[in-house]
Structure 1
Amino acid sequence: MPDAHAATPDARPYDALLLLSFGGPEGPDDVVPFLENVTKGRGIPKERLKEVGQHYFRFGGVSPINEQNRALLDALRKDFADHGLDLPVYWGNRNWSPYLTDVLRDMATAGHRRILVLATSAYASYSGCRQYRENLADALATLEAEGRALPRVDKLRHYFNHPGFVRPMVDGVLKSLADLPDDVRDGAHIAFTTHSIPTAAADTSGTVEDHGDGGAYVKQHLDVARLIADAVREETGVDHPWQLVYQSRSGAPSIPWLEPDICDHLEERHEAGVPAVVMAPIGFVSDHMEVLYDLDTEATAKAAELGLPVRRSATVGADPRFAAAVRDLVLERAASESDRQVTPCALGALGASHDLCPVGCCPARTPKPAAAGADSPYA
């Protein structure tokens, strides 16, 4: 049986890859309309959206996420071309141009019939997986209503523990530690950060078997944090204490969300006499607005107020090793779909994630159709 990593890459039965992301404003006039897209159906007044948009206005109304996706798109196309993988790569967003429905329509018009989707979220959760699947179902429903022949759409598995995702983050932490003053480096703690979500959403993340006590969302982040901390210890000879912490909380204060918040954590570490902290945003693929504001601005200001030396390590972004990981994931899924031999590549204790999200995986509060899963209406 041929191997997924054969000399001539074979992506069959797939004929295109779609990079699917969140989207972000690219100028001041875009901010409120973008936030209206994000909060559609929640009845949030425009004045409140203008208040929320101050994070974006602070940076000229531009989120870096679109430019970072363009860089990743270029990196994927280059890697595929360099390795002989003939697979066109498209890009669409949930909340801003280029919109998912428009891009999927273009792909169908171009004749693509089997499409793989790479979501810019590495972990299991409603907002990081199922909501993207719901967006895909909405887009397919629109194309169906237009009388178009629908492509089959499959989503690549969660890649949180793929070495091409983990190793760049290891190097980022090592670089941040090396950048600390000599007298505080060895005593530095590592704060692995990710997006806080409601505890109820965390508890039901992943498969039904994973539900409870943070679900797959927390388990997966903890596994990645251990992988990075272990690699740092092996390469530096120093066992840096670490903790998984959270950022970017939103919503009503009465609803429990995952804690501790990064700023609270920095205060607690300072009071405990920790000499320095490296903030490692393992929950984010790129340095988009939540990293730029919540860590580089807000948390860094809190550390300065405390007199606590901090460094923020890099996200994976368009690192060539991540692009190579995506190629590996494409070939892995293609081999699996074609009954060719494949060995999934994954580090840590959890193993490779499922290809097809099962029924009950990361459920929504209000059930909606979701594509690219066992419960998809578009098989």
Structure 2
Amino acid sequence: MTEPFTALLFLSFGGPERAQDVMPFLENVTRGRGVPRERLDEVAEHYHHFGGASPINALNRDMIAALTPAMSGRGRDLPIYFGNRNWGPYVEDVVEQMYRDGHRRALVFTTSAWGGYSGCKQYHEDIGRAVAALSERIPAAADEPLLLRKLPQYWSQPAFLDAQADAVRRAVALLPDPQAGARLVFTAHSIPTRADQAVGAGLYGRQVADAAAAVARRLTADGIVDGDEPGRDFDQVWQSRSGPPQVPWLEPDILDHLAALAAGGARQVVVAPIGFVSDHLEVVWDLDNEAAERAAELDLGYVRADTVGTDPRFIDMVADLVDRYAEGGGDLQAPGCGDNGAGCRSGCCG
């Protein structure tokens, strides 16, 4: 009989929570990527605009607080450990603590819904690095090894898409003229075009496009999207590029797209950050500041939809995933699923 999993690792990107940590954090994130110092200084100012803290850790703790009773309601009283890739609490330290607490089999939920390198494979690498660090810190772990099983990608889960659709509905109701209609724009974090093609042959870009279309289909009955002409009433764009200017990234960029919409006669726009699980810095700065200011300059009515965050359907979706895999079941060939950093199935992110 397969042994059950006894803990859940909630694994995320990480972010600074004090002003003095901003630059060390950014150096962690960009190490080896050739990002100019002046670009780091520019991004650091975004964090200092919010007192030097990214909201991501607090938002992750909010999701964990919501997830705990949702799992308990399914009879899964698994302790939840919170770890990050780029800042404290670092995943290596958290996995060591988990092991010292007696856990030998843990599921891993990541705060990215997507495939591709940054969205999936890099989280496998984080898990593999933490397992390797554990064997160095606790040599006895070689005789009693730890199994960390990453839960699959969830971008196509109905609950995730339903929560996204309701966020758009709420945003439409907040428009200056809700009855006048608006252009719906889905946005996600851009990545280098070459990187998107290198892992899964454009997997990430395709998944974002498919998820945006799936949410749009849910909005046809509301008249937000025209079901007779799929794609006519919504767009899918990108944001938050940060690499060297000579490297092509996925386009169009949201700021350029807002200008194009205004030039084409649009008067109102709803921006849905489908690529993000919660309102971390790329959402609250790039969309709530830069994009909102650009829309005002263009005389565009502008509302940004919520991220799924602690929406009960999204939290229940996570709890359902945990429940499905907790006894050793679940589809081990599902995209994104893998053990101890070994990566996903062939043709996905590995």
TM-score by length of 2: 0.89
SS of residue matched to 2:152: coil
Secondary structure class of the residue paired with 2:133: helix
CA distance in 2 between counterparts of 1:31 and 1:173 reads: 32
Shift of 1:180: 1.4
Could you tell me which residue of structure 2 aligns to residue 205 of structure 1? 199
Read off the aligned partner of 1:192 and give its amino acid letter: F
User: Does residue 123 of the first structure (1) align with residue 114 of the second (2)?
Assistant: yes
| Secondary structure of 1:233's aligned partner | coil
Q: Classify the secondary structure of the residue corresponding to 2:186.
A: strand
Give the conservation status (yes or no) of the 8 Å contact 1:20–1:93. yes
1:71-110 equivalence runs, <5 A: 71-110=62-101
Q: How does 1:1-379 map to 2 (within 5 A)?
A: 13-42=4-33, 49-146=40-137, 147-149=139-141, 150-182=145-177, 185-206=179-200, 211=201, 215-236=202-223, 239=226, 241-334=233-326, 337-338=328-329, 353-354=334-335, 356=337, 370-373=341-344
Distance 1:170 1:25 in 2: 31
Q: Which range moved further: 82-91 or 101-110?
A: 82-91
Q: Bigger CA drift: 79-88 or 93-102?
A: 79-88
Do the aligned residues in 2 keep the contact of 1:267 with 1:306 (CA within 8 Å)?
yes
Does the residue aligned with 2:219 lie in a helix, a strand or coil?
helix
Shift of 1:12: 5.5
Shift of 1:231: 1.0
Aligned position for 2:229? none
Q: Between Structure 1 and Structure 2, how many residues are aligned?
A: 336
After superposition, the Cα gap between the structure-2 partners of 1:355 and 1:282, relative to the gap in structure 1 and judged at 3 Å, is closer
Question: Gapped runs of 5+ residues in structure 2?
Answer: 227-231
With over 3 angstroms needed to count, the CA separation of the structure-2 counterparts of 1:196 and 1:98, relative to structure 1, is same
Partner AA of 1:321 in structure 2: R
> What RMSD in Å do the two structures reach over aligned CA positions?
2.4
Cα deviation for residue 44 of structure 1 reads 5.9
Would you say the 8 A contact 1:93–1:99 is kept in 2? yes
Farther-moved stretch of structure 1 (143-152 vs 326-335): 326-335
Q: Within 1, Cα distance between the matches of 2:105 and 2:28? A: 28
SS at structure 1 position matched to 2:76: coil
Deviations 1:313-356 (A, max 9, x none): 00011222111101111222346x34xxx699xxxxxxx94254
- Aligned equivalents of 2:158 and 2:316: distance in 1? 10
**What is the Cα deviation at residue 195 of structure 1?**
0.4
CA distance in 2, matches of 1:372, 1:334: 19
Residue 56 of structure 1 aligns to which amino acid in structure 2? Y
Structure 1 residue ranges, 4+ long, deviating more than 2 angstroms after superposition: 39-52, 184-187, 235-238, 331-335, 352-358, 369-375
**d(CA) in 2 for partners of 1:122, 1:229:** 18
% identical aligned pairs: 48
Query: What's the secondary structure of 1:154's corresponding residue?
Result: strand
Separation (CA, whole Å) in 1 of partners of 2:185 and 2:32 = 35
In structure 2, how many angstroms separate the alpha carbons of the residues matched to 1:176 and 1:138? 40
CA contact (8 A) 1:333 1:355 kept: no
How far apart in 2 are the matches of 1:114 and 1:154?
8
**Higher mean displacement: 225-234 or 296-305:** 225-234
* Residue 204 (structure 1) shift: 2.9
Partners of 1:23 and 1:96 within 8 A in 2:
yes
Q: Is the 8 A contact 2:108 2:150 kept in 1?
A: yes
Contact 1:187 1:274 (C-alpha < 8 Å) held by counterparts: no
Q: Structure 2 CA distance, aligned partners of 1:45 and 1:201? A: 19
Please state how far the C-alpha of 1:22 moved relative to its aligned partner. 0.7
Q: In 1, Cα distance between the equivalents of 2:124 and 2:185?
A: 31
Q: Give the whole-Å Cα distance in 2 for the aligned partners of 1:272 and 1:321.
A: 36
- Distance in 2 (CA, whole Å) between partners of 1:242 and 1:353 is 29
